[in-house]
Chain A
Amino acid sequence: MQLNLISHLIWTDLRRNRSLLLFWIGLLGVLFACFWPFLAMSTPQLDEMANTGQMPMREAFTAMGAVAVCSLWAGFLILPGILLEHPSSVSTTFWLTRPIGVGNLLAAKAIVLGFFLVLLPSVADGTLTMVIAHEPWGESLSVTLQEMEICLRQVVFLSALCSLTRRRSQFIKWAFTAYILQIIWNMLLLGRWHQLLLPVWRFDFHMGSFSSKLIPASILVTVGFFGVILHQYYTRKTRTSLVLFVALFLLGPIVTLGQ
């Protein structure tokens, strides 16, 4: 891998998607601005608000939910913008005949997606926890790391899906179908009807957030999705990658049932 080529690719991606990325940063900024007053408050003031029933816990959860929703839609929009710009995986296009190098390409994409869809929302979530819910630093860090892990799994899953598609519309259609399937499975297998109400994009089957027993399996599935990305980019054998992807997607509910 060559750093100068990676930075060249990153810069191209940032320039290409600048409107979308600025909108995403702006959205997080607006969210923060809405809760700015709480940031200025001291601990006794917040305690007093909590004691008098004014503590905006509901708002705090709303804000965190909003971050999750935003990261869902940002993922839907930003991810294909970044990945489908170099459709190395599927089509025989201009990019495949240029000496870009799959390693360079994947590294550049990982950095851009990692920053905008993993680091930014998880830090936002952690900061909101600290500022609004007034959790101590250690707790906020834990929330940040947890969110980071969730975002990472989400990005890996969506990137694997994206690497199998040609167009943004196709990706959104598939991602939305996967989202609906996830909700249905949650309801049928776990009786988690609230998933319908909580507008949160969580591939719980693959994340193990509801059961620590599932964590090794969920990590395995995420690593599997990462393998799908590598397989698709390095071999361009879409049919095999698709079979792997579907198998991994179905593995979630199967593992859940097994537990």
Chain B
Amino acid sequence: MIIETHQLHKRYGKQTAVAGLNLQLPEGCIYALLGPNGAGKTTTLKMLMNLVEPTSGSGCVLGAPLQRIGRAELQQIGYISENQEMPEWMRVEDFLAFCQPFYPSWDQELCNQMVANFELPLGRKLKELSHGSRLKASLVSSLAYRPRLLVIDEPFGGLDPLVREELVSAILACAGDGNCSTIISTHDIAEIDRIVDRIGILKTGTLIVQESLSELQQRFRRVVARIEDAAITQSPLPSWLDLQVDLPMLSFVESQYSAELGERVRAIYPQASEIEAKPMSLKEIFVSLSKNQNL
């Protein structure tokens, strides 16, 4: 495992930001950490980068305990954050030249190639760049040494679709050789559902889901059925989420889908007919999970 945490907690005073986090990121995997605002995504990433000390629990990143992440580990980690402070006074070329000596594995050819692909103006100061270009400069400085782990915190905020596409391509290219694992926190689900392998969903500091995207999409279905008349006040099964009744139609999200779904529905509503189970997008799954009060 590239990242592994055990019962990680973080409290700010009486406020719990992260509660009992058990997160696993296998090697070569792109992991999306999803969650609404305030779910604890940024705090989690900061704990993984040893920027914030956990209140309790433990964890390892690249084999090093969280509190012992030092130079050797940081030489293999690329960290990009939307709100990252950067040396604004530096020109792009100075900035890249500044970063280079800290990384023994710095690949100047790759750096030049990315600068050309992103059309970064080398002679301009970082403070004169747009938000998108600054993020690109940050990405170049974090990918040019071919990191083993890429940690990306809310990268898509305030970016136009073109820049988003460029960022996604760069992340995919980095992960493409299988040596780079990525953990990306975002609520821009539409951008990442085509690149991620594994999903973790945080809700009020607790990881309510952690599995591969394919498994997740396999077990979630939007189910619609005709039930004629039936008195339904609440979900009859815990695996049924987001229950909506508009007689004679019943709609819900089945979070434990299997081929026997029809029989299960009919066991509860014998008069049920026209049972249809549609695959769901990651965004739909995320919304139904986030809305569920029982999780």
Which residues of chain A have a CB within 8 Å of any CB of chain B?
Answer: 4-5, 8, 12, 16, 85, 87, 91-94, 96-101
Contact = CB atoms under 8 A, between A and B. Distances in A.
Interface stretch (B11-19, B69-77, B190-198): B69-77
B85 A101 contact: no
23 contacts: A4-B101, A5-B101, A8-B98, A8-B101, A16-B87, A87-B85, A91-B85, A93-B84, A93-B85, A94-B85, A94-B86, A94-B138, A96-B51, A97-B49, A97-B74, A98-B99, A99-B70, A99-B71, A99-B72, A99-B74, A100-B71, A100-B102, A101-B70
A254 B99 CA distance: 47
A93 B49 CA distance: 11
Nearest to A91: B85
B138 to A, nearest CB: 8
B79 interface: yes
Nearest to B79: A97
A175 to B, nearest CB: 23
A186 B89 CA distance: 41
Given A16-B89, A92-B46, A93-B85, A98 B102 contact: yes
Contacts of B49: 96-97
Nearest to B71: A99
Contacts of A12: 98
Contacts of A8: 98, 101
B74 A98 contact: yes
Contacts of A99: 70-72, 74-75, 102-103
Nearest to A16: B89
A47 to B, nearest CB: 53
Interface of B: 46, 49, 51-52, 70-72, 74-75, 77, 79, 84-87, 89, 98-99, 101-103, 138
Given A8-B101, A99-B102, A100-B71, 7 more contacts: A93-B84, A93-B85, A98-B74, A99-B72, A99-B75, A100-B102, A101-B70
A99 B87 CA distance: 15
Contacts of B75: 99
A101 to B, nearest CB: 5
Contacts of A91: 85
A94 B101 contact: no
Contacts of B85: 87, 91, 93-94
A94 B102 contact: no
Nearest to A93: B85
Contacts of B74: 97-99
Counting chain A CB atoms within 10 Å of each CB, the highest count among B46, B98, B102, B138 belongs to: B102
B125 to A, nearest CB: 12
Contacts of A94: 84-87, 138
A97 B52 contact: no
A97 B102 contact: no
Nearest to B101: A8
Counting chain B CB atoms within 10 Å of each CB, the highest count among A91, A96, A101 belongs to: A96
A-B interface, 7 closest residue pairs, ranked by CB to CB distance from nearest: A99-B74, A97-B79, A93-B85, A99-B71, A92-B51, A99-B75, A101-B71
Contacts of B102: 5, 98-100
Counting chain B CB atoms within 10 Å of each CB, the highest count among A87, A92, A100 belongs to: A92
A85 B87 contact: yes
A16 B84 CA distance: 20
Counting chain A CB atoms within 10 Å of each CB, the highest count among B75, B85, B89 belongs to: B85
Nearest to B103: A99
Contacts of A97: 49, 51, 74, 77, 79
A156 to B, nearest CB: 26
Contacts of B86: 94
Nearest to A103: B71
Nearest to B138: A94
A93 B86 CA distance: 7
Counting chain B CB atoms within 10 Å of each CB, the highest count among A5, A94, A96 belongs to: A94
Nearest to B76: A99
A5 B103 CA distance: 11
A38 to B, nearest CB: 41
A149 B86 CA distance: 35
Nearest to A8: B101
